[in-house]
Amino acid sequence: MKIPGVKALTFDVGGTVFDWRGTIEAELQALSSTRNVELDARQFASDWRGGMFAKLALVKSGELPRMNADEIHHMVLDEVLETHSSLELSRDERDALIQIWHRLHTWPDAVESVHKLRGSYTVNVLTVLSYAIAVDSSKFNHLSWDGILSCEFLERYKTDARAYQQAAELLRLEPDEVMMVAAHTGDLMGAKGAGLKTAYVYQDDWITEQSPREPVHSLDNFDVSAKSFSELVEKLT
């Protein structure tokens, strides 16, 4: 049976549906091999992603002007390339590398599972990534949604409570009629604080000792937890 009272699912996609780390690392490894240079692709990917969230925090606080994830990725790439100086890229090559964020691969069971869940719920994206990234990466994987909400169009970015509440309002639902699905417990705690139901799905995000670790919250905090998308489908339908 469906979860009683829940009418819509809002999905985080960066790390939850899309394997950003695996996609970015593979691109960087291929690029460094072509250039015949040594590059720590895993650390580069971590620095790029971590830098994006650091800059996003400054956008949230008003220390930087409002900008979307594409603009932040551009800004952070220049900084990361200074740290990983073995990889030298022209401006055109940097622009081309940015496009890999628009071709993120999904986790193996994500597409089929999302499509199954659409049979029982209204299924939407709710992401801090740009609208273009969410659309392009979804089309790249033949992944269909009922709708895509990027925080670049909302009043606030996640994990501000207003982002989740506004998503519910746009769906013409009460917060507790919406369930946030994510592999990131911090995201889910933000949703829970905004009054949404929550579902945790485990994804191997390849967190290493060199990359910042996200806050860890007990899975007991959430309404549903699953070790895979397939298990999530079983628990939600």
Cis peptide before 159 (omega within 30 of 0): yes
What gap in Å lies between CA 69 and CA 114, rounded to an integer? 24
Q: Looking at residue 20, what is its pLDDT?
A: 94
What gap in Å lies between CA 208 and CA 226, rounded to an integer? 22
Cβ pair 129, 69 in contact under 8 A: yes
Q: Looking at residue 1, what is its pLDDT?
A: 55
In the chain the domains, ranked by start, together with CATH numbers, are 8-19+104-236 (3.40.50.1000), 20-102 (1.10.150.240)
Three-state SS at 65: coil
Q: Looking at residue 210, what is its pLDDT?
A: 38
Reading the chain (237 residues) residue by residue, the pLDDT tens digits are 588 899 999 999 999 999 999 999 999 999 999 999 999 999 999 999 999 999 999 999 999 999 999 999 999 999 999 999 888 899 999 999 999 999 999 999 999 999 999 999 999 999 999 999 999 999 999 999 999 999 999 999 999 999 999 999 999 999 999 999 999 999 999 999 999 999 999 887 544 433 445 556 778 889 999 999 999 999 999
- Cβ-based neighbours of 125, under 8 Å, separated by 6 or more: 10, 11, 13, 134, 138, 145, 147, 148, 149, 150
Q: Looking at residue 160, what is its pLDDT?
A: 95
